Copies of this chain bind each other. A is one copy, B any other.
Amino acid sequence: MKNICYAQSGGPTAVINESARAVIETAKRYPNDFNKVYAGLHGITGILNEALIDTYAEPEEHIRGLRHTPAAAFGSCRHKLKDIATHRDEYLRLLEVFDAHDIGYFLYNGGGDSQDTAYKISQISHSLGYDLKCIGIPKTIDNDLPFTDCSPGFASAGKYLATSIREAGLDLESMASSSTRVFIMETMGRHTGWLAAASGLAQNHVHPEPHIILFPEIPFVHDKFYAKVEDCLKRWGSCAISVSEGILNVDGKHILETTEMDDFGHSQLGGIAPIIAGLVKQHLNVKTHWAVPDYCQRAARHLVSQVDLDHAYAVGKAAVEFLRAGKHGIMPIIVRDSSSPYRWHIGEADLANIANQEKFLPRDYIDAQGFHITDACREYLSPLIQGEEPPVFSDGLPAYVRLHKKLVDKKL
């Protein structure tokens, strides 16, 4: 009987630990199929260093608490395995560690790069005759994984951003007659506008905010943008804007690269929101404020979507059940059956097809002007952010679990 090795990869989310919990709980239900679940300390770098956490040594209440704990509880990393042809040693080292610890299953919980890595590991183990079954578990706040209807982690970040722009928009509006008139909130999403789009859910018949959304999918045209802000100011008196960190100009260049250092000097520091604020101030002469939630948007477990939590659990559980059914080389995906009422089930996608594909916001999810989302986009997004499940609070703050992370004795 073999062990499972589970690893978290890339940027954390508010619900990735719920996938980890599902893996551990599901594997424990099948003691005749799986020995233990080990987790790489800081993802794949932990496996390379033979730093494996014995998740079965963790107290039960810690495992249960993973549902309510954001970030990557076992540690994550940014470490992309290079090409097998040129970096064969790293792959061999992985298999050496797997072999030393009786690991027959590898579950890699991450975004596109991680699915690619899981695929490569699966390929090389097969070609070397090492019996390793690999499954990818989807996770990314960017929502850019192909095949799956959505990626766990995205909806919670989206719910947080929509809530934040609604709240800050009300604040802005209440002072706009004598103070700040334009507020800009920056969302993550380096190449795709999914998170910026999700903030758009805050706009409804009661709330006009956000008045404008800037997507990476729509080239940023200065004059068109200033005209739109002026329109909003005329109509509403204030203008709340969500801007994706990845917006590009018409030449496909990132705005941070193309804005003169002499003007704003942010290039080495990041932060598109202050750049946009500076431009609005310069061109429209109105007082601006800006916010950059940064990590807070993907770690905000205090305000997650229950649907997202359920998705995160389901993909972790499915990964183990796929293994039990003898399936591998795949990634469990969310398949939408209907939007209203929202119904979904778990399907599967071949890891071989996932690598190097990014799912962009479809053009028909963005309105004609390019400054907001369409009804089709709302129909897609709205079911994903439904439901709340606040964490337990202790002493006025969310009580998050910190794992013991007991390491397995090294054998190499």
Q: Which residues of A contact B (CB under 8 A)?
A: 8, 11-12, 14, 42, 45, 69-79, 159, 162-164, 166-168, 170-175, 177-179, 183, 185, 201-202, 204, 206-207, 261-262, 264-266, 268-271, 273-274, 277-278, 289-296, 298-303, 305, 382, 385-388, 390, 393, 395-398, 400, 402
Contacts and interface: CB of A to CB of B under 8 A. Distances in A.
A294 B291 contact: yes
Contacts of A168: 294-296, 299
B70 A167 contact: yes
16 contacts: A14-B167, A42-B177, A69-B170, A71-B174, A77-B175, A77-B178, A164-B300, A166-B397, A167-B301, A167-B302, A207-B400, A264-B265, A266-B269, A269-B277, A290-B292, A382-B395
Nearest to A387: B396
A70 B79 CA distance: 42
Contacts of A72: 171, 174-175
B397 A201 contact: yes
Nearest to A385: B396
Nearest to A399: B206
Nearest to A204: B395
A390 B170 CA distance: 17
B171 A295 contact: yes
Given A183-B295, A269-B290, 10 more contacts: A12-B175, A45-B177, A166-B400, A168-B299, A201-B395, A204-B395, A265-B265, A266-B274, A382-B396, A386-B396
Nearest to A401: B206
Given A159-B397, A163-B397, A302-B167, A42 B178 contact: yes
A178 B45 CA distance: 9
A384 to B, nearest CB: 8
Contacts of A292: 273, 290-292
Contacts of A264: 265-266, 269
A196 to B, nearest CB: 16
Contacts of A386: 395-396
B174 A400 contact: no
A175 B11 contact: yes
Contacts of A166: 397-398, 400
A233 to B, nearest CB: 16
Given A166-B400, A264-B265, A172 B385 contact: no
Contacts of A204: 395
A197 to B, nearest CB: 14
A303 B305 contact: no
Contacts of A74: 174
Given A77-B177, A175-B77, A400 B295 contact: no
B77 A179 contact: yes
A277 B271 CA distance: 12
A387 B395 CA distance: 8
A386 B394 CA distance: 9
Given A42-B177, A179-B78, A163 B265 contact: no
Nearest to A287: B78
A44 to B, nearest CB: 10
The residue in A166, A296, A300 that gathers the most chain B C-beta atoms within 10 A of its C-beta is A296
B76 A175 contact: yes
Nearest to A79: B178
Contacts of A76: 174-175
B171 A397 contact: no
A70 B299 contact: no
A356 to B, nearest CB: 21
B171 A12 contact: yes
A91 to B, nearest CB: 18
A291 B302 contact: no
